[in-house]
Chain A
Amino acid sequence: MNKSTSNSQSRKSTVAKQVMWNRMISVVEEQAQALIRTAFSTSVREAGDLSAGVYDYDGKMLAQAVTGTPGHVNAMAAAVAHFIRRIGRDNIFQGDVYITNDPWEGTGHLHDITVVSPSFHKEKLIGFFACTAHVVDIGGRGFTADAASIYEEGLYIPIMKMAERGEVNKTLMHIVRGNVREPDQVVGDMHALATCNEIGHLRLIEMMQEFDLDDLQEIAEFILDNSRVATLEKIAALPNASATGEMTIDGYNTPIKLNVALEIKDDEVLCDFDGSSGVDKMGINVPLVYTQAYSCYALKCAIAPEVPNNAASLAPFVISAPENTLLNALHPAPVALRHVVGQMLPDVVYNALDKILPETVPAEGASTLCNFQVSLRPRTDAPAPKDAIRAEVLTFNSGGSGARPGLDGMSSTAFPSGVMTMPVEATEHTGPIIIWRKELRPDSGGAGKYRGGLGQYMEVGATDGHEFDFSAMFDRVDHPARGRQGGHNGAPTTIARDDGVAMQGKGKQFVPNGRRVKLEFSGGAGYGEPSERDPELVKRDFARGYISAQVAKTDYGLSDSDIAEINKALLLGETLGD
């Protein structure tokens, strides 16, 4: 074995780089965990709606925390370059902290605040840390699609300094405090974002000292080169082909058309949304960064899932949409609920990709989160009890995901979003709300060789003496998830009051004292012909109550005698297949 110094040096540096890449992913994870623990925003702390990353001198993302949600994947990757351009390199000092909630240069709506901090080592700028969180409130009309333009959606913070050389910009803080409904929490979150960057920075500097680095150039090249090669290898292994995909969803007042043209080339994957609907009157328009985020996420899952997110691994996925359309809405289009449309994009992309790579992608699912906000207040139609209060309650819920080629869909599980639901017991502590029901919705998963994931039932009311506005953000009422390869559609979303009064899938709707909202969230679609489903799984699904006797018979051909036998066995506590 050759033991020359140069050999051992190069050996050491190869191994060291492997270790450093690992470390940088750990550094951003620490950054994200710090944010989760200190943030006030429900969506951050309970639901993981955040992201954190480290960037090189040029603003190229080197690593992103695993904790986080796909909505920020590409958006945050691009954001730092905007900061460098807007702030100007000459104006970047040690101790600075930058901030924005620009939907087009940040992550898609005013509720997301992005904070970027330059990282200095030995008095020299070496890179940046950035993180994003969805704050509780940003003023304006609140978290709804009702605004006619971005100006009504809340406070807009252009890219600017939140702190310069360690000195916090008090004017900015005053303006924020004066413009949002929960000033302590929002300002608290701004500080939490800055702190989490600081934690990342300190860990990075420790690493640089340990490995005796003056800058990040060499490790950046190592990370980006290896990621680029790995991603390109995956793309090269795919056929050169083009396909189109389409999907229609409910939209707000009029149905929305989502069209994509997908092209796989030797070294890139192009995804263009020409032909999709134009800009909408309501705040469900999507800035291009967010269109890119979810489309890119979909492609990465299917093509190169194990390559970590960074500038190089994201670069070969090129996403475009014509300017001034729904999926590339320009300022000042309203965009507050851009997730309602954005989270549908993986289904559209998969519609096309399935034609090129069969047996790879899932059938359509509920996809968009089934979120709603409840604004409770003392009843106004009659004297309210003394202890009646006002409260705002936001919940995150999920329908069923689409069946996979080889696996059933996931019941009541978020896809593509990465967020979690909140415990009902915790939600009920935040206001006079009662969740009467939150459980799986049988028969909602589309039949198939592989069954779609089940949606869920929810039933929502208020304690005695309260009335409320119910802000719905649901889709798939008129356009349920469609099956693949002979799989059936998932069940559509339904919404109504318990006294039978009809309600809409989107928008703020009044619910009087004593009434409840009954919700049935949509199921995922099936994959493959139901007749090909393993009969044992059909029996199991019936025994578990995932499907009714009716569906077991008509969709899957289970015989009456089988059904009777299973019903008998269940009474005797036999579990069948479990």
Chain B
Amino acid sequence: MTDLMKGIRMGVDIGGTFTDVVLEKDGQQFSTKVLTTYIAPENAIIDGMHQVCIKASISPSQIGQIIHGTTLATNALIERNGAKTALITTQGFRDVIEMRTESRFEQYDLNLSLPEPLLPRQQRYTVNERVSAKGEVYHALDKAEVQALAEQIKTAGYESVAVGLLHSYLNDSHERLIRDVLNEIVPEVMVSISSEVSPQMREYERFNTVVANAYIKPLMKSYLGRLYGRLRDEGVGCNVFLMHSGGGIISIESASEFPVRLVESGPAGGAVFAATIAARYGLDKVLSFDMGGTTAKICLINNQTPKTSRVFEVARTYRFKKGSGMPISIPVIDMVEIGAGGGSLAHVDSMRQIRVGPESAGSEPGPACYGRGGARPAVTDADLVLGKLDPANFAGGSISLQTEDSERALVSELGSKLNMDAQTAAYGLVEVVDENMANAARVHAVENGEDLADYTMIAFGGAAPLHAGRLCEKLGVDRLLVPVGAGVGSAIGFLRAPFSFEANRSVFMRLSDFDTSMISGLLSELEQEARGFVKRCDKAAEILSEFKVYMRYSGQGWEIPVVLSSEQAKKPDMQTFKRLFEEDYRALFGRIVDGMDIEITVWAVNATTPSEPVEQAIELDRADAAPVENRRVMFDPALGVEQSANVVLRKNMEFGQTVDGPAAITEDETTVIVPASREAIMQSDGCIDMRVRAS
């Protein structure tokens, strides 16, 4: 922990529906949820801040640090409400962001619509220049041509310009020249260049990333400026930092310059939250499971560090299908997201199979049981009919649920077509949605060469505790933790995140051409760049550097990340690189390939402040049984039968007290379902610790 991270701190997560605010003072947490105010998102923050300050009996001026994450950047890309933006690219390549991969993401739909590029063709300009795959200039850029283009940009009144030229990750001189000319002729226009925003090979991903950055930059810069001003007006004197998609924190200035790095920062906070719990329990293999109203997100956390990736896809337009969104190549926490949440709707397809999601009932009309006119069954309806939810006590009693409406919807949409009663339809529905999530987790694990049987699950988000127990059964996962504060997990995660920045670059090198001095030079350059960003946050902090290279056999298309120690990075050795690659390759795919040359494609350095020391949880064994509030009939999907289940109030559970499944542990925000196969212990930090029953 750096000095800056001591004292009173506040985490703020702007989500699609709610803005979550968590304030931490002397180890105590105060949290609130306020509705997100789309037009001026800072209003919800100010409102929430006052609420938590009152709860904590402090004034805003006493807050020592604010960490903020937001979906605004993601939303701007989904809703296409960014700035008037132009792209300047290499002549002959005007349409890269429109031609995409020249493929269809769904093979059997004759009426497929491909997603429109962020910028239509008339907003894409070209210049006559060319850099080779070795980084040499084939055709030099003529400054006069750029000046003429800058005049055009000026006349057309663009607010923001993205510059993406071929092979600029190897030679950025032309991109810089264009930026210089634009700054001179149209200083009011914001310029983003691809060699800075995303210096990675593959033009479609890189151009799209720089375009996305330019597109949301004016909006985010203005928002962050306004937020800062409002906080100052309210007497807040501290620094404001931003959570980025890679799971760390950057300065407000860096965030304004590279707003594309804020995409998916909320879910990244959730992963950091889960990583903290993993550290508290000393768990090296954790599967984080975050299920809300419309989607579920799954992330692997090994050695208390969420797995990261170099590219991901946002704004999927077609049933969350891979390829239907736009690729963004930035360092990001690697998550799979599927359309499975409490509001996901079910139907029967032509094969008489129950299908669930990705269509969601949203908050209006909501699931049928809300009694607001929803006619189709949602996951929440099935949960209710199976007895997993108490109709009189949902969301702390704020919404009274109508079981008959759920049954009606289940029968009319599913039961009548499959000859099932309401309960069997509900059973089928939850089994299908749980299977969908389990399949997503399995495929993700396979892609990473992992076996989930060794994992512990950490569940958070409103709907996760209802489904996590069954998911563990399906995945063969023996242990599940449901932490306190699961409803505001992302915002808590922000408070646990280190200052960090990952710098990376594509440079090809075969091990047969291993160039020691070039490697140590490149890695040290990347290290300086990454550390610079962290220093902007905290000049005095201790900074650690993490080195990673992406390697593959020459001829393969997929690289695997290979972690280097500081020593290995500073004194690079070919045999060591080879050995590390082969170890990782074997772990992933079960074999190595003899005789093939190996190549390095991407080099990355992550600079980070050390993670906060975590107080280890004292793990309690089962003691006496927790007090039973009442009993209700609950359906157990693994057994396929109804059973009488204990209902326990989470707040009444003492440390060490145990609940045997089948049971429901209820709290205001959610209910933890303990299947018949499991038992749950209240741990000393308030976590519900669910394991396979001893018997």
Chain A interface (Cβ < 8 Å from any Cβ of B): 1, 3, 8-9, 11-12, 14-16, 18-19, 21-23, 26, 29-30, 33-34, 36-40, 42, 45-46, 48, 66, 69-70, 136, 182, 184-185, 188, 191, 195, 198-199, 203, 206, 210, 226-227, 229-230, 233-234, 300-302, 304-308, 360-362, 396-398, 404, 406-407, 410-415, 418-421, 423-426, 428-429, 434, 436-440, 456-457, 459, 463, 543-546, 570-573, 575-576, 578
Binds A, one of B213-221, B395-403, B426-434, B516-524: B426-434
- Nearest-Cβ distance from residue A352 to partner chain B, whole angstroms: 16
Query: Which residues of B in the span 629-645 have a Cβ within 8 Å of any Cβ on A?
Result: 637, 640-642
Residues of chain B lying within 8 A (CB to CB) of residue A546: 121
User: Could you show 16 A-B contacts with beta carbons less than 8 Å apart?
Assistant: A15-B428, A23-B435, A26-B443, A34-B589, A37-B589, A230-B350, A420-B101, A421-B99, A423-B202, A425-B202, A425-B203, A438-B92, A440-B121, A545-B122, A571-B155, A578-B122
Residues of chain B lying within 8 A (CB to CB) of residue A300: 108
Binds A, one of B279-287, B351-359, B529-537: B351-359
A573 near B158: Cβ-Cβ < 8 Å: yes
> Does B84 belong to the interface (CB within 8 Å)?
yes
Nearest 9 A-B pairs (CB), nearest first?
Answer: A573-B156, A45-B557, A12-B640, A437-B92, A428-B133, A26-B439, A305-B108, A578-B120, A420-B101
Residues of chain B lying within 8 A (CB to CB) of residue A12: 640
A30 near B641: Cβ-Cβ < 8 Å: no
Residues of chain A lying within 8 A (CB to CB) of residue B436: 22
Question: A45–B559 Cα gap in the complex (Å)?
Answer: 11
Fill in one digit per residue for B353-395: 1 if any A CB lies within 8 Å of its CB, else 0: 1100000000000000000000000000000000000000000
A33 near B443: Cβ-Cβ < 8 Å: yes
Question: A545–B120 Cα gap in the complex (Å)?
Answer: 10
Identify the closest chain A residue to B205 (Cβ): A423
Identify the closest chain A residue to B447 (Cβ): A33
| Most B-side CB within 10 Å, residue of A11, A407, A437, A543 | A11
> Does B95 belong to the interface (CB within 8 Å)?
yes
Residues of chain B lying within 8 A (CB to CB) of residue A396: 102
Query: Which residues of B in the span 111-160 have a Cβ within 8 Å of any Cβ on A?
Result: 111-114, 120-123, 130, 132-133, 138, 152, 155-158
> Does B596 belong to the interface (CB within 8 Å)?
yes
- Nearest-Cβ distance from residue B670 to partner chain A, whole angstroms: 25
Residues of chain A lying within 8 A (CB to CB) of residue B351: 226-227, 229-230, 306-308
A456 near B99: Cβ-Cβ < 8 Å: yes
Identify the closest chain A residue to B321 (Cβ): A66
> Does B98 belong to the interface (CB within 8 Å)?
yes
Question: A396–B421 Cα gap in the complex (Å)?
Answer: 52
Chain B interface (Cβ < 8 Å from any Cβ of A): 84, 91-96, 98-99, 101-104, 107-114, 120-123, 130, 132-133, 138, 152, 155-158, 166-167, 201-205, 349-354, 418, 420-421, 423-424, 427-428, 431-432, 435-436, 439, 442-443, 446-447, 474, 476, 508, 553, 555-558, 588-591, 593-596, 637, 640-642
B204 near A423: Cβ-Cβ < 8 Å: yes
| 18 new A-B contacts at CB < 8 Å, known A11-B640, A37-B588 | A14-B420, A18-B353, A23-B435, A36-B557, A38-B556, A185-B596, A188-B593, A191-B593, A203-B442, A206-B476, A229-B351, A307-B351, A412-B95, A414-B102, A428-B167, A440-B99, A545-B121, A575-B120
Residues of chain A lying within 8 A (CB to CB) of residue B557: 36, 39, 42, 45-46
Identify the closest chain B residue to A20 (Cβ): B435
Identify the closest chain A residue to B206 (Cβ): A425
A439 near B95: Cβ-Cβ < 8 Å: yes
Residues of chain B lying within 8 A (CB to CB) of residue A425: 133, 166-167, 201-203
B508 near A429: Cβ-Cβ < 8 Å: yes
- Nearest-Cβ distance from residue A243 to partner chain B, whole angstroms: 18
Residues of chain A lying within 8 A (CB to CB) of residue B110: 301-302, 305, 360-362, 404
Within 8 Å by CB of B104, from A302, A397, A418, lies A418
B104 near A414: Cβ-Cβ < 8 Å: yes
CB contact under 8 A between A418 and B203, given known A8-B640, A18-B353, A578-B120: no
Identify the closest chain B residue to A545 (Cβ): B121
B589 near A573: Cβ-Cβ < 8 Å: no
- Nearest-Cβ distance from residue B454 to partner chain A, whole angstroms: 14
Question: A535–B355 Cα gap in the complex (Å)?
Answer: 40
Identify the closest chain B residue to A47 (Cβ): B103
Within 8 Å by CB of A426, from B98, B201, B427, lies B201
A426 near B102: Cβ-Cβ < 8 Å: no
- Nearest-Cβ distance from residue B365 to partner chain A, whole angstroms: 27
Question: A414–B105 Cα gap in the complex (Å)?
Answer: 11
Identify the closest chain B residue to A417 (Cβ): B103
Question: A415–B111 Cα gap in the complex (Å)?
Answer: 12
B350 near A195: Cβ-Cβ < 8 Å: no
- Nearest-Cβ distance from residue B630 to partner chain A, whole angstroms: 21
| Most A-side CB within 10 Å, residue of B158, B167, B442 | B442
Question: A185–B107 Cα gap in the complex (Å)?
Answer: 28
A424 near B203: Cβ-Cβ < 8 Å: yes
Residues of chain B lying within 8 A (CB to CB) of residue A361: 110
A48 near B556: Cβ-Cβ < 8 Å: no
- Nearest-Cβ distance from residue B472 to partner chain A, whole angstroms: 13
Identify the closest chain B residue to A541 (Cβ): B121
Question: A457–B158 Cα gap in the complex (Å)?
Answer: 28
B591 near A191: Cβ-Cβ < 8 Å: yes
CB contact under 8 A between A30 and B99, given known A571-B155, A572-B157: no
Residues of chain A lying within 8 A (CB to CB) of residue B92: 436-439, 457, 459
Identify the closest chain B residue to A194 (Cβ): B591
- Nearest-Cβ distance from residue A287 to partner chain B, whole angstroms: 22
B555 near A40: Cβ-Cβ < 8 Å: yes
A34 near B446: Cβ-Cβ < 8 Å: yes
Residues of chain A lying within 8 A (CB to CB) of residue B637: 15
A15 near B431: Cβ-Cβ < 8 Å: yes
B556 near A40: Cβ-Cβ < 8 Å: yes
Question: A423–B94 Cα gap in the complex (Å)?
Answer: 14
- Nearest-Cβ distance from residue B116 to partner chain A, whole angstroms: 8
Residues of chain A lying within 8 A (CB to CB) of residue B508: 429
Identify the closest chain B residue to A428 (Cβ): B133
Within 8 Å by CB of B432, from A18, A136, A182, A570, lies A18
Question: A425–B112 Cα gap in the complex (Å)?
Answer: 28
Residues of chain B lying within 8 A (CB to CB) of residue A413: 102-104, 114
Residues of chain B lying within 8 A (CB to CB) of residue A457: 92
- Nearest-Cβ distance from residue A51 to partner chain B, whole angstroms: 11
Identify the closest chain B residue to A40 (Cβ): B555
CB contact under 8 A between A434 and B103, given known A14-B428, A33-B446: no
Question: A362–B113 Cα gap in the complex (Å)?
Answer: 13
A410 near B99: Cβ-Cβ < 8 Å: no
CB contact under 8 A between A439 and B94, given known A19-B431, A23-B439, A230-B350: yes
